[in-house]
Amino acid sequence: MRCSGSRIVLAVLVGIAALPLAGQSPAFEVASIRLSEDEHSPSIAPILRNGRLTAHRATLRQILSRACELTEPQVIGPEWLDKVRFDIVARAPAGAPDSAMAPMLRALLEERFKLAAHLETRTVPVYHLTVAPGGVKMPLYPAHSPVANDPAVRGSATMGGASTPARIAKHLSFILDKPVIDKTGLTDGYSYFAFFTPVSSHPGADVSEFRAPDIFTAIQKQLGLKLDSARDAVSLLIVDRIEKSPSEN
């Protein structure tokens, strides 16, 4: 597969890698893809959980990002990837782990949308996740994750669970819509909980109108981690070919 010449040039090309072959993984038992006719409901990017795939008014850029486990800015392709929207419902074979869902979605895109794509490594704007001054404030797993009693939690965005900093960085990548790279050097699992207002495009921006802190402040004060703007080498999905309409269900 070769690059089709995207107009979006993010940085200097560092390397090229083949997209993992989705056909090596199990396929969905049942999958329905339909052009969304709902113009008023919010978009829900693909959710891959408990053997089911659901998406509502999702763009192909959102679908591709979930299929390849990348953020949306890491998907490089035609502008209409953000315009055409789809409703998707699919069921995986019984016993299939959630880790197999993304490869199955890639296989579905290859089959129904004739997707051809490859990965390239380029240097782009990112966030580095580091340990904040004062150290980590998350207890080591299996301690219970601290849940704030602050009334601002109600109605705020939240993230929490038990995970390593590397996986927390991956979660933050989707929240911030930009790659977040773990630079903490920590490999232990932690229990964590954070609440924050909708993400601001400018770290440290004035959020006095909100009761909860912005995500940059929340991550530092509640988790003992820090997000720093940087440039780093990351994988980008270069879409060589994809059809606007899927083949019949």
Among 45-59, 197-211, 217-231, name the one with the lowest average pLDDT.
197-211
Question: Is this structure's pTM higher than 0.85?
Answer: no
Asked whether the predicted pLDDT for residue 199 surpasses 70, the reply is: no
How confident is the model over 133-153, as a mean pLDDT?
A: 81
Asked whether the predicted pLDDT for residue 174 surpasses 90, the reply is: no
**Which pLDDT belongs to residue 223?**
96
**Which pLDDT belongs to residue 211?**
73
Measured between alpha carbons, how far is 61 from 45 in angstroms, rounded to an integer?
Answer: 9
36 burial via Cβ count (<10 Å: 0-12, 13-18, 19+): middle
Pairing of β 75-76 and β 225-241: parallel
Domain segments of the chain as ranges = 13-122+234-241, 136-223
pLDDT tens digits, residue range 148-162?
666 667 778 899 999
